[in-house]
Chains A and B, each alone.
Chain A
Amino acid sequence: MSFIKKFIEQEAINRRNFLFASAMGAGGLAAATMFKAGPARAAIEDPAIAWSYRDRTNPYWNAIVSGGESFVESIGKSKADLINLINEGSSEKSLSDVKALLSKTNGKLALAIDTNDSPNARPVVEAVVEKGAFVSTLWNKTADLHPWDFGDNYVSHMAWSDVGPAEQTATILFKAMGGKGAIVGLGGIASNNPAIERRNGLDNAMKKFPDIQLLDYQAADWDTQKAATIMASYLTRFGDEVKGVFCANDTMAYGVLEALRAEGLAGQIPIVAYDGNAQAVDLIMAGELLATVYTNPYWGGGITAALAYHAAVGTFKPSEEPHEHREFNGPTILITKDDAENFKKQYVDATPSYDWKDFWGPSTGAITY
C-alpha cells in the first residue's frame, strides 16, 4: 500500500506549501499596510484574551485562571478583561463557546484552552484558524495534530508527562514501606489522560520492587468523598494488610486520610499524592502525607495565555520557532518532607512573579510521542 502512503505524504507537503504561501501572503499584506499607514501595526491590535477550561470548583483550574489573570494584569489590563469560558466537562459546549466568541470578536482573539478531550482539539483549532485568531492549547490534543501544520495561528501546545513523576512518588512510598508489603490504589476518572499516565507510573515503579503487592486499584474519580468511602471499604476487605496508599491526586488523598483518621490511623499508613495543592503541602509538613508533585498550574495558565496573546500582537512569529517551542512539557516539582517548607514559602505563601515573556524557560523540553 505504499502508493497510499506516498499520496498522503504528497498531500501533506502540498498543504504545508499552501499554508506557507498563505502565511507569506498575509505577511506581505501586513508589510504593505505597514508602509502605507503611519504607525506600525501588529497582527491583531488589542485582541480579546480568553481562557476556556473545565470547572471552577477545582483548585487546579483555579490556579490556571489565577495565572491567566496575572498575565492579563501584566499587560496593563484588569483581571475582568480575561474572558472565562467554562465547558463543565462538555466538549460540545467547549467548541460552541469558542465559535460564539470568535463571531463576537470577529477573530480578534487570543485563546488559551483545554479542549476537554483530545478529539475536540482539532475542530477548535480549525475554527480559530479559519477566523484568523490565535490559540494555544493545554493538556488535550491528539498526537497527529501539530501547531506547525497551521502556520502562526495555532501557536503552541503544552502538556505534562505524569508517568515519570508518578513513578517517583510510588518509589518514595515503597522505600518508606521498607521495599515490601501490600498497597492499595485510588485512581482518577478512568478515561482521563493524567489518570492513565499516573497509573502507568505506579506500574513502572512496581516492576522495580517485586516484594510490593497491589491489593486493589479503584477509580474514585478525583472525588474526596468517594475516596473516603472506598478507603473505608478497603480497610474492611484487607484490614492490617494495607501498608501504603497510592493516590492519583491530592483531593482523593484528603478523603483517604479522613477515612484513616476516623480509625485513628492518620499518619500511620504512608500516602502519596499528586498535584501539589496548598493543603497537600501542609499535610506533608504535618507528616500525614508522604509526597506530592507540583505541576505549577499558575505558570501554565499564565504562559499559555501569554503565548497566544504575544503571537496575536506580533511580539514573536510562531512559525519561526523550533518545534520544541511549539509542543513542550510543563515543569514538575516533587515535594517531600525535606523541601515542603521551602516550597510553601516560595509557591504557597508568596506567588512567585513570573516574566510572562519568558515563554519556554521553565519548560522541560519537547513532547515525545
Chain B
Amino acid sequence: MSFPDRDVLHRWAPLLVLVALVCFFSLVNPNFMSLRNFARIGISATPPLMVAVGVTFIIIMGSIDLSMEGAVAVCAVVFAAIFIWLGGTLASWAWLALPACIVVGALYGLLNGLVHVKLRIPSFMASLSMGFVGIGLSLLMTGGDRIRVEDKIFRSLLTERYLGFPLMVHVALLVILIAWFIQSRTAIGRNFYAVGGGEELAHASGLDVKRVRVLGFMLAGVFYALGALFAVAQIGIAETATGYNFMFVSITSVVVGGTALWGGNGGVWNTLVGVLIVNVINNGMIVMGLPRYLQDGVLGLLVILAVVLSTDRKSLAFVK
C-alpha cells in the first residue's frame, strides 16, 4: 500500500479533521459519542447548513455574499406573516407561505446579483449593503416584534423523529443531494466553476459571465430562504434576529470545509463537512465544560487550524 499523494490527502483532509474532532471530544466526555447528541448537533447545524450551501456557489465563483443575515430575516418574517395570515397551519392554505418564502429568497438574491453586476459594485460591498437593507426591511415589517409560528404540523420538522434524527435533518440531506445535483450535473453548476477558475477565459469561451453571476446569487437566495424556514421551525419564532449569527458561521464553514475563497474549487460536500466541524466544535466545547470566556478564543484557533489542514495552499502564488 502506497502513501496517498498530496491531492488525495487534501481532498479528504476536512473529513479527517471532523473525525479527529469527534474522537477528541468523545475521549473527553463519552456522552458526546451518542445518537442523541448527534441529533442535537444535526438540529443546530441544519439552518446554517442551508445558508452555507447557498454561499458555497458564490464562493466557487470567486465572489462573496454577505447578505445572508438580511435575506434570512426577510424570508423568515415574510414566511411567518403569510403563514399566520392564511390560517396559521399547514393543513390550510397557509402552506402557500412555503413557496412564497422560496420566491422571496430568489427575488432577494436576484436583486443582490443585479446590484452587484449592473451597478458594477464589488460583491463584497453590494451584498453587505443588501444585507443591511434586509435587516432594515424586516424591522420595518415586524416593527421589532416577533411572530410566533406554533403550528404542530410545521413544527414536526423539529419534533418528529425517524431513525433517531428529527425530520428537518432528513429534509436537509435531501436538499444537499439537490444542491450536489445542481453543482455537478447542470450547466449552471459547471459554469460556476468556470467563472471561479478563470473569469477571462470563461468570458473568451463565450460564456455570459454576468448572467451566471446573477443566477448564482439568485440560487443562493433560494437556499437562504430554506435556511430561514428551518430556523423558524427550530425556534418557533420569526423575527429580525432570526438572521443574526449566520454570516460568520456560514462563511467559516465553507472555508473550513476546504472550499477556497479565491474560487474554482470545493463544493457542497465540503460545505457539509465544514458546517459539521463548526457545530461539533461549538457543541463539544460545552460538553467538555469549557468556560464561556475561553470558547470564542478556542473556536478561532480551531478554525485557523482546520483551514491550515484542509485547504491546499501550496500552489498559490500569493494570498490576498
Minimum CB–CB distance from B9 to chain A (whole Å) comes to 32
Quick one: given A62-B144, A62-B145, A233-B283, are A225 and B159 in contact (CB under 8 Å)? no
B87 located at the interface, meaning its Cβ lies under 8 Å from any Cβ of chain A in the complex = no
Q: Is the interface of A mostly helix, strand, loop or mixed?
A: helix
Most chain B CB within 10 A, of A57, A223, A237, A262, is at A57
B300 located at the interface, meaning its Cβ lies under 8 Å from any Cβ of chain A in the complex = no
Minimum CB–CB distance from B211 to chain A (whole Å) comes to 36
A190 located at the interface, meaning its Cβ lies under 8 Å from any Cβ of chain B in the complex = yes
Whether B43 pairs with A56 at a CB distance below 8 angstroms is no
Tell me which residues across on chain A come within 8 A of B139, comparing CB atoms: 56-57
Among A58, A219, A225, A258, the residue within 8 A (CB) of B158 is A258
Identity of the chain A residue whose Cβ is nearest the Cβ of B41 in the assembled complex: A232
Please measure, in the bound complex, the distance between the C-alpha atom of A232 and the C-alpha atom of B155, giving whole angstroms.
17
Identity of the chain A residue whose Cβ is nearest the Cβ of B39 in the assembled complex: A262
Please measure, in the bound complex, the distance between the C-alpha atom of A229 and the C-alpha atom of B292, giving whole angstroms.
13
Whether B235 pairs with A255 at a CB distance below 8 angstroms is yes
Please measure, in the bound complex, the distance between the C-alpha atom of A183 and the C-alpha atom of B236, giving whole angstroms.
25
Tell me which residues across on chain A come within 8 A of B40, comparing CB atoms: 232-233, 235-236, 259, 262
Whether A190 pairs with B236 at a CB distance below 8 angstroms is no
Quick one: given A218-B286, A232-B44, A254-B235, are A223 and B244 in contact (CB under 8 Å)? yes
Which of these binds chain A: B26-34, B55-63, B256-264, B267-275?
B26-34
Tell me which residues across on chain A come within 8 A of B242, comparing CB atoms: 225
Whether A262 pairs with B283 at a CB distance below 8 angstroms is no
Whether B287 pairs with A228 at a CB distance below 8 angstroms is no
Interface size class of A (residues with CB under 8 A): 20 to 34
Whether A229 pairs with B283 at a CB distance below 8 angstroms is yes
Whether A225 pairs with B166 at a CB distance below 8 angstroms is no
Minimum CB–CB distance from A337 to chain B (whole Å) comes to 19
Q: Is the interface of B mostly helix, strand, loop or mixed?
A: helix
Whether B237 pairs with A254 at a CB distance below 8 angstroms is yes
Whether B31 pairs with A237 at a CB distance below 8 angstroms is yes
Tell me which residues across on chain B come within 8 A of A262, comparing CB atoms: 40, 43, 158-159, 166, 234
Whether B289 pairs with A228 at a CB distance below 8 angstroms is no
Please measure, in the bound complex, the distance between the C-alpha atom of A237 and the C-alpha atom of B40, giving whole angstroms.
12
Number of interface residues of B (CB under 8 A): 38
Please measure, in the bound complex, the distance between the C-alpha atom of A218 and the C-alpha atom of B29, giving whole angstroms.
18
Quick one: given A255-B235, A279-B148, are A233 and B159 in contact (CB under 8 Å)? no
Please measure, in the bound complex, the distance between the C-alpha atom of A219 and the C-alpha atom of B293, giving whole angstroms.
9
Please measure, in the bound complex, the distance between the C-alpha atom of A134 and the C-alpha atom of B223, giving whole angstroms.
50
B311 located at the interface, meaning its Cβ lies under 8 Å from any Cβ of chain A in the complex = no
Minimum CB–CB distance from A200 to chain B (whole Å) comes to 17
Whether B283 pairs with A57 at a CB distance below 8 angstroms is no
A226 located at the interface, meaning its Cβ lies under 8 Å from any Cβ of chain B in the complex = yes
Please measure, in the bound complex, the distance between the C-alpha atom of A235 and the C-alpha atom of B158, giving whole angstroms.
16
Interface string of A316-353 (1 = CB under 8 A from B): 00000000000000000000000000000000000000
Tell me which residues across on chain A come within 8 A of B289, comparing CB atoms: 216, 237
Please measure, in the bound complex, the distance between the C-alpha atom of A58 and the C-alpha atom of B293, giving whole angstroms.
25
Whether A61 pairs with B235 at a CB distance below 8 angstroms is no
Whether A57 pairs with B44 at a CB distance below 8 angstroms is no
A127 located at the interface, meaning its Cβ lies under 8 Å from any Cβ of chain B in the complex = no
Quick one: given A233-B286, A236-B32, are A228 and B292 in contact (CB under 8 Å)? no
Tell me which residues across on chain B come within 8 A of A62, comparing CB atoms: 143-145
Whether B144 pairs with A56 at a CB distance below 8 angstroms is yes
Interface string of A221-250 (1 = CB under 8 A from B): 001111011101111110100000000000
16 contacts between A and B (CB under 8 A): A55-B144, A61-B144, A190-B292, A190-B293, A216-B286, A225-B245, A228-B44, A229-B44, A230-B286, A236-B40, A255-B235, A258-B235, A259-B40, A263-B36, A264-B159, A279-B237
The 9 closest A-B pairs by CB, nearest first: A233-B286, A232-B40, A56-B144, A236-B37, A57-B240, A62-B144, A229-B44, A237-B287, A218-B292
